[in-house]
């Protein structure tokens, strides 16, 4: 099948350079799915016949880094963007063996894969992928879409999530596929093919064997994206949320949870409209805020009037909401800081004092989200400037040095 897709120019150049170096190369996975759905891909993945070391030779060691043990691939740096380049794989021949050669403990699934570094062909790589809608390969040089499974293009058209191969086995090989199947349902409004859905319900308890680091990474991806308000309800409906965010699942049928999802929707809308960047910490704070209000005796959605009298209350609630995930410290600090600032922003008239505080910009955005979703106060955005002023300070050498009015001793995470 030939169809010209609107691929970013620098991605086409990467594919071209690898092909010119003698390595068969394609754009793969989610980017092709998104382009066929007329969506802008959030990122691009590239798969090639080149080994990781050969990719480094093509693009230079300063622009590339080999990462991963279970699945080795190359990160190629293009400005601030990171493009993942993987080598064609074949289905692992020895399930149950770790990348370090050790056999997995007896309580883990027999067919669970711990090492995925057996290189293969493009077709073998396609057939070892999780779902048909993620197994399309695209060559931007001749506009050819290769559908090795034979149903990927049709499944995208019909919005069908279908596992490649035996779904019982494929979910056991990698339980994180359970999460990814549900993400497709939530993010795109797809439906599950019957056998895939039946296998998902049967194999769902296996998710406890998934790597905690991989699950936390999936959480960060969901929070960073603009579909969390659709994905989390799907998780809850299928019974997956009790494994992923048990605190939220336990409190799902409460006013606090309802308000939390509405705040996430408001945040995601503003990110989609480019009103603010895709900060993970703001999404985390939005999800936790209603539960902090409830624990503080406030009604969900009320203008903040509480002063945290219990030391560490905000930190404690954030950790409970996101258990069992171990949050990156800078994300936790940023979320906690902006939540502490909410009362001051809403009730204080001393703009000049508040604007100096570290985390002000993030806290202001969280307040704007609440205002759009619940408060509907007039001119709130005009009361609080969008950017803090910049002071110009002359250093000892007499050079002009620009300094933010944020506290210099605390760096506000750009997260």
The dihedral sign for the CA sequence 146, 149, 151, 153:
negative
Nearest to 86 by CA among 48, 31, 137: 48
CB contact burial 280-297 (16+ within 10 A = b; e otherwise): bbbbbbbbbbbbbbbbbe
CA atoms within 13 A on the CB side of 288: 28
Q: Please tell me which residue in 34, 45, 125, 147 is annotated as part of the active site.
A: 45
Element (H, E) at 73: strand 73-78
The active-site residue out of 13, 43, 166, 299 is 43
Measured distance CA(104)–CA(209) in Å, rounded:
11
**Is 45 an annotated catalytic residue?**
yes
Q: Is 349 helix (H, G, I), strand (E, B) or coil?
A: coil
Instruction: Look up 13 and say whether it is catalytic.
Output: no
Is 378 among the residues known to form the active site?
Answer: no
The rounded Cα 19 to chain-centroid distance in angstroms is 30
What distance in Å separates the CA atoms of residue 358 and residue 330, rounded to the nearest whole number? 13
Cβ 284 vs Cβ 267: under 8 Å: no
Which entry of 116, 125, 130, 278 is annotated as an active-site residue?
130
Annotated catalytic sites, by residue?
Answer: 43, 45, 130
């Amino acid at each position: 099948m030939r169809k010209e897709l609107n691929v970013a120019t620098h991605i086409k150049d990467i594919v071209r350079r690898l092909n010119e170096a003698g390595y068969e190369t394609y754009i793969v996975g989610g980017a092709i799915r998104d382009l066929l759905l007329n969506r802008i891909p959030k990122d691009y993945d590239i798969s090639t016949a080149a080994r990781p070391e050969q990719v480094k030779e093509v693009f230079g060691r300063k622009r590339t880094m080999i990462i991963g043990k279970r699945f080795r691939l190359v990160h190629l740096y293009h400005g601030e963007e990171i493009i993942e380049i993987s080598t064609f794989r074949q289905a692992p021949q020895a399930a149950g063996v770790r990348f370090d050669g050790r056999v997995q403990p007896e309580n883990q699934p027999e067919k669970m894969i711990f090492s995925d570094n057996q290189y293969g062909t493009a077709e073998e790589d396609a057939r070892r992928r999780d779902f048909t809608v993620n197994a399309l390969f695209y060559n931007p040089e001749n506009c050819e879409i290769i559908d090795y499974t034979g149903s990927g293009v049709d499944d995208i058209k019909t919005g069908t999530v279908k596992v490649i191969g035996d779904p019982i086995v494929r979910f056991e090989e990698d339980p994180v596929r359970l999460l990814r199947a549900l993400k497709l349902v939530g993010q795109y409004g797809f439906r599950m093919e019957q056998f895939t859905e039946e296998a998902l319900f049967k194999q769902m308890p296996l998710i406890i064997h998934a790597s905690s680091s991989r699950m936390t990474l999936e959480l960060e991806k969901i929070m960073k994206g603009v579909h969390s308000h659709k994905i989390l309800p799907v998780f809850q409906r299928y019974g997956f949320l009790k494994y992923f965010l048990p605190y939220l699942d336990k409190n799902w049928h409460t006013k606090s949870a309802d308000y939390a999802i509405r705040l996430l929707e408001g945040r995601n809308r503003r990110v989609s409209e480019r009103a603010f960047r895709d900060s993970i910490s703001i999404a985390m704070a939005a999800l936790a805020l209603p539960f902090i209000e409830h624990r503080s005796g406030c009604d969900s959605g009320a203008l903040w009037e509480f002063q945290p009298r219990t030391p560490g209350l905000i930190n404690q609630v954030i950790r409970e909401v996101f258990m069992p995930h171990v949050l990156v410290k800078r994300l936790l600090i940023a979320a906690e800081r902006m939540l502490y600032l909410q009362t001051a922003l809403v009730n204080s008239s001393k703009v000049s004092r508040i604007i100096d505080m570290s985390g002000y910009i993030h806290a202001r955005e969280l307040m704007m989200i609440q205002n759009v979703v619940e408060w509907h106060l007039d001119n709130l955005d005009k009361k609080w400037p969008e950017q803090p002023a910049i002071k110009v300070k002359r250093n000892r050498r007499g050079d002009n040095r620009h300094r933010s009015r944020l506290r210099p001793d605390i760096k506000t995470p750009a997260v």
